[in-house]
Amino acid sequence: MMSFSSSCKSIAFGTGLLVLGASAQAQADEMDTILINEAFHSLLYLPVYVAKHEGLFNDHNIDVPVVRSAGSGPVALASVLAGESQFSVHGPEHVGFAQEQGGSGKAISAVANSAPVWVLAHPSLDYSSPADLEGKDVVVGLAPGTSNTLIRRLIQDAGLAGKVNVTEVQNGSELGPVLSGRGDIAVTYQPQVEQGISQGLEIIHAFTDDYPEYAFSTINTSQEMIDENPDLVLRFVRAINDALLLIHSDAEAAKAVARLEFGGLPSDVVNAAVQRMIDNNVYPQSVMITKAAFTNAIEMQQFVGNIKGEMYYDDIVDISFASEVIQ
């Protein structure tokens, strides 16, 4: 027969009985339950899923019952600014857009760094430099997505404006026209990159090489949260940093989480996608959002016309939590 000390607290749930020791009860009392809103469900946000599934949020007394997909960056951030959720995951430019409308968001942690876009083609395609894009049919996701912006910038920088046929398709469907012979080149993200490779395509250009620092996605919160609960914000950033360290020290654990989150995809595709993003530092080494990464992302948005004026690092990024975590 099992006995419990008088310091235990019992709570009835239906016909069951949950018994908590004093230390466990204290921990439960201190746990902050929060909601994270992501722009969309993506392998790019793997650090968040690793922190959740590997218990890293719990290690910092944070409970994350669900990570909710909002459908877009602006919607995810709007939920935070309205107080419906505490943190959001998307590009830092949306913080700038919100500030222009009177919002008080801040980007506080890196999540996906370097430009996570790759260019694929059949091995028979003759490609050695961007100049070889001339006369080619390039298939890319809809503007103003980053993949669309990056390939158009590459075309312009190569002096090929008007000399490349760019066809826009729904994001995620870039491979179809190339595999069926209706396009020469596909520009896409993971896991489509590994799916294309598994079907005979090869990478001919990696934007991760062009932009090794690129603030593609950040953790964001409201100024109100920073002012009223800085301890929670700090603990959250610590958990994300722990997740990044785990991803780089134990790739197999990271892949296991990715397979769990994306069970509808072939395991080998998920494993390859995660490994490539680790190798290319899409998952950064730490939570710090560098000025170079921020500047590259904002300048690309300015190039495509999404940002008309200026957005400044010090206005949008709060590095105080990341600085404390990685000191």
Give the pLDDT score at 51. Answer: 98
- Is the predicted pLDDT of residue 27 greater than 80, yes or no? no
Q: Band of the pLDDT at 23, cuts 50, 70, 90? A: very low
Q: What angle do CA 193, 199, 203 make, to 5 degrees?
A: 40
pLDDT surpasses 90 at 102: yes
DSSP 8-state secondary structure symbol assigned to residue 280: T
Our CA angle for 72, 76, 78, nearest 5°, is 115
The residue behind tokens 């020469």 is: 184
Rounded mean pLDDT of the chain?
91
Given pLDDT bands bounded at 50, 70 and 90, which one contains residue 30? confident
Average pLDDT over residues 108-120: 97
Architecture of the domain spanning 31-114+214-326: 3-Layer(aba) Sandwich (3.40)
What letter represents residue 135's amino acid?
G
Longest dimension (CA), the chain: 81
pLDDT digits (tens, 9 = 90+) for 69-83: 999 999 999 999 999
Q: What pLDDT is stored for residue 25 in this prediction?
A: 42
Q: What's the N-to-C CA distance of the chain in angstroms?
A: 50
Contacts of 325 (CB under 8 A, 6+ apart): 234, 237, 238, 241, 286, 287
For residue 6, pLDDT beyond 70: no
What residue segments make up the domains of the chain, in order of their start? 31-114+214-326, 118-210
Where does 118-210 sit in CATH, by number? 3.40.190.10
How would residue 12 be classed by pLDDT, with cut points 50, 70 and 90? very low
Give the integer Cα–Cα distance in Å for 313 and 96.
Answer: 10
Query: What is the spatial distance between Cα 264 and Cα 63, in angstroms, rounded to a whole number?
Result: 26
What is the pTM assigned to this prediction? 0.88
How much is the pLDDT for 29? Answer: 56
Beta bridge partners of 205: 119
Residue-level pLDDT at 205: 98
Quote the pLDDT of residue 60.
98
> Bigger pLDDT: 27 or 70?
70
Q: Same fold for the domain at 31-114+214-326 and the one at 118-210?
A: yes
Check whether 190 has a pLDDT greater than 90. Answer: yes
Q: What is the pLDDT of residues 125-139, one digit of tens each?
A: 999 999 999 999 999
Above 50 in pLDDT, residue 122?
A: yes
Which pLDDT value is given to residue 110? 98
